[in-house]
Chain A
Amino acid sequence: MRLFSGQRAFVLQRLSALVVLAYLAAAALRVAFGAPVTLAQWQAWAAQPLGAALLLLAAAALIAHAWVGVRDIVLDYVHLFALRLGVLAAAVAGFALLAAWTGFIVLSHAL
């Protein structure tokens, strides 16, 4: 099972980092040069298809990045095979749950 491991994980980690970096830069520019965002504006933006899609992309990039990082740390420090398998499985389950929950949050507001 080479999915999300080896070079693929390395590339995913870099790509997701760049995506998050782009979001941070856009948010910083918006805060620095735009008018303050009201709660109503934020909610209206998140309800639009484009806003919802951008939120989902941000969540996907963050969760993918977090998964590779947690995976690297577990592989480095947890050497007992059974324990490593258990911790990795728990991490997968946790991130899957988080992804489903975030998707539900965004989509239930947008649809």
Chain B
Amino acid sequence: MRSRRPVFLNFARIRFPVGALASIGHRISGVVLVIALPLAALLLDRSLQAGAEPLVMPGWIRVPAALFAWAAAHHLFAGIRHLATDVGIGASLPAARRSAYAALVGAAAVGLAALIA
């Protein structure tokens, strides 16, 4: 028997309350950070080479760097939020919505700062 509840994965029809935004942002930022892992290994390798010199980066590097900064900040803030919720801190709906806003806004601020600073 088919369920009568609405089952769909239409992103235009799914409502995203702030907690869901913080949650999907946690996933997306996690993917960004996974993609950055090999680059981090590359940078670690370079920094440990004898006679390593400061890297000269092209100007456009600011854009992916800002994306990385946002991803790292969002994953950190939302991750701390999840860990706190695991142990019952801030698990009530109003508190969870406040912390979700804080994580979203804080991470966006970090990303913007990396872009323009």
A interface, CB within 8 angstroms of B = 14, 17-18, 21, 24, 39, 42-43, 46, 55, 62-63, 66, 69-70, 73, 98, 101-102, 105-106, 109
Contacts and interface: CB of A to CB of B under 8 A. Distances in A.
A62 B27 contact: no
A66 B29 CA distance: 11
Contacts of A102: 41, 44
Interface stretch (B14-22, B78-86, B109-117): B78-86
Interface string B41-57: 10011011010100000
B106 interface: no
Interface of B: 27, 30-31, 33-34, 37-38, 41, 44-45, 47-48, 50, 52, 76, 79-80, 83, 86
Contacts of B80: 21
A73 B48 contact: no
Nearest to A101: B41
Contacts of B34: 66, 69-70
A55 B30 CA distance: 21
B83 A73 contact: no
Nearest to B9: A77
Nearest to B52: A39
A79 to B, nearest CB: 11
